[in-house]
Structure 1
Amino acid sequence: MLTFAWPYLFILLPLPLLFKTKQKQQTGHLHLPGVGHGQQANLSSKGKPKRILLWLMWALLITAVARPLWVGEPIELPAKGRDLMVAVDLSGSMQIDDMVLNGQNVDRFTVIQHVVSDFIDRRKGDRIGLILFADHAYLQAPLTLDRKTVAQYLREAQIGLVGKQTAIGEAIALGVKRFDKLDNSNKVLILLTDGSNNAGNIAPLQAAELAKDSGVKVYTIGVGADEMLRRSLFGTQRVNPSSDLDEATLTKIAQITGGEYFRARDPQQLEQIYHEIDKLQPVSRDQLSYRPQTELFYWPLAFSLLASALMAIGSLPLFQRKRTEKSQ
Structure 2
Amino acid sequence: MLSSFHFTYPFFLLLLPLFALSALLFKREKESFYMPHFLQLFSHVKKRHYVREILKWFMLTCMTVALSDPVVVKKIKALKSNAVDIVLALDTSGSMSTYGFNAKNYKQSRLDVVKEVVQSFIDMRKRDRIGLVIFGTTAAVASPLSFDKEAQKNIVGKIEVGVLGKSTALIDAVVSAAELLRNSKSKSKIIILLSDGEDSASKIPLAFALKLAKKYGIIIYTITIDKSYSNMMKVIANKNGAQNFEVQNKKDLLKVYKRIDMLQKSELEYNTLDVEEHIYFYFLLLSLLCAILLLPHVKNKGVL
TM-score range, shorter chain: 0.5 to 0.7
- 2:98 — aligned with what? 96
SS of the equivalent of 2:211 reads helix
Structure 1 distance, partners of 2:256, 2:115, is: 15
- 2:256 — aligned with what? 273
Instruction: Report the alpha carbon displacement of residue 249 of structure 1 after superposing the two structures with TM.
Output: 0.9
Give a deviation string over 1:193-222, Cα, whole Å, max 9, x none: 000111121123431222112100000000
TM-score (norm 1): 0.56
Instruction: Give 2:160's aligned amino acid.
Output: Q
Instruction: Report the alpha carbon displacement of residue 189 of structure 1 after superposing the two structures with TM.
Output: 0.2
Distance 1:272 1:205, change over 3 A: farther
Structure 2 distance, partners of 1:287, 1:158, is: 43
Give a deviation string over 1:233-258, Cα, whole Å, max 9, x none: xxxxxxxxx5xx35411011101111
TM-score (norm 2): 0.60
- 1:85 — aligned with what? 87
Structure 1 distance, partners of 2:100, 2:206, is: 26
Structure 1 distance, partners of 2:136, 2:217, is: 25
Distance 1:124 1:101, change over 3 A: farther
SS of the equivalent of 2:239 reads helix
Distance 1:287 1:252, change over 3 A: farther
CA RMSD in angstroms comes to 2.1
Instruction: Report the alpha carbon displacement of residue 277 of structure 1 after superposing the two structures with TM.
Output: 0.3
Give a deviation string over 1:29-74, Cα, whole Å, max 9, x none: xxxxxxxxxxxxxxxxxxxxxxxxxxxxxxxxxxxxxxxxxxxxxx
Instruction: Give 2:100's aligned amino acid.
Output: D
Structure 1 distance, partners of 2:157, 2:163, is: 13
Structure 2 distance, partners of 1:187, 1:282, is: 12
Structure 2 distance, partners of 1:141, 1:132, is: 9
Q: Does 1:212 align with 2:195?
A: no
Equivalent residue in structure 2 for 1:140, among 139, 142, 158:
142
- 1:255 — aligned with what? 238
Give a deviation string over 1:155-193, Cα, whole Å, max 9, x none: 101111111111111111111111111224310000000
- 1:298 — aligned with what? none
- 2:151 — aligned with what? 149
SS of the equivalent of 2:246 reads strand
What are the within-5 Å matches in structure 2 for residues 90-129 of structure 1? 90-129=92-131
Structure 2 distance, partners of 1:198, 1:223, is: 16
Structure 1 distance, partners of 2:222, 2:162, is: 21
Structure 2 distance, partners of 1:266, 1:247, is: 19
Structure 2 distance, partners of 1:110, 1:78, is: 36
SS of the equivalent of 1:99 reads coil
Instruction: Report the alpha carbon displacement of residue 104 of structure 1 after superposing the two structures with TM.
Output: 3.0
Distance 1:285 1:167, change over 3 A: same
Instruction: Report the alpha carbon displacement of residue 259 of structure 1 after superposing the two structures with TM.
Output: 1.1
- Contact kept, 8 Å, 2:84 with 2:186, in 1: the verdict is no
Aligned residues: 194
- Contact kept, 8 Å, 2:138 with 2:164, in 1: the verdict is yes
- Contact kept, 8 Å, 2:85 with 2:129, in 1: the verdict is yes
- Contact kept, 8 Å, 1:131 with 1:139, in 2: the verdict is yes
Structure 2 distance, partners of 1:165, 1:123, is: 30
- Contact kept, 8 Å, 1:205 with 1:253, in 2: the verdict is no
What are the within-5 Å matches in structure 2 for residues 4-43 of structure 1? none
- Contact kept, 8 Å, 1:126 with 1:284, in 2: the verdict is no
Instruction: Give 1:104's aligned amino acid.
Output: Y
Give me the identity figure in percent. 31
Instruction: Give 1:208's aligned amino acid.
Output: L
Distance 1:287 1:172, change over 3 A: farther
Structure 2 distance, partners of 1:153, 1:268, is: 23
Structure 2 distance, partners of 1:246, 1:151, is: 32
Distance 1:103 1:137, change over 3 A: closer
- 1:203 — aligned with what? 205
- Contact kept, 8 Å, 1:169 with 1:205, in 2: the verdict is no
Instruction: Report which of the two structures shows the higher radius of gyration computed on alpha carbons.
Output: 2
- Contact kept, 8 Å, 1:137 with 1:171, in 2: the verdict is yes
Q: Which runs of 5 or more structure 1 residues have no equivalent in the other structure?
A: 1-76, 225-241, 289-328
Instruction: Report the alpha carbon displacement of residue 268 of structure 1 after superposing the two structures with TM.
Output: 0.5
Instruction: Give 1:266's aligned amino acid.
Output: N
Instruction: Report the alpha carbon displacement of residue 105 of structure 1 after superposing the two structures with TM.
Output: 3.5
Instruction: Give 1:187's aligned amino acid.
Output: K
Structure 1 distance, partners of 2:80, 2:201, is: 37
What are the within-5 Å matches in structure 2 for residues 154-193 of structure 1? 154-193=156-195
Instruction: Report the alpha carbon displacement of residue 98 of structure 1 after superposing the two structures with TM.
Output: 2.8
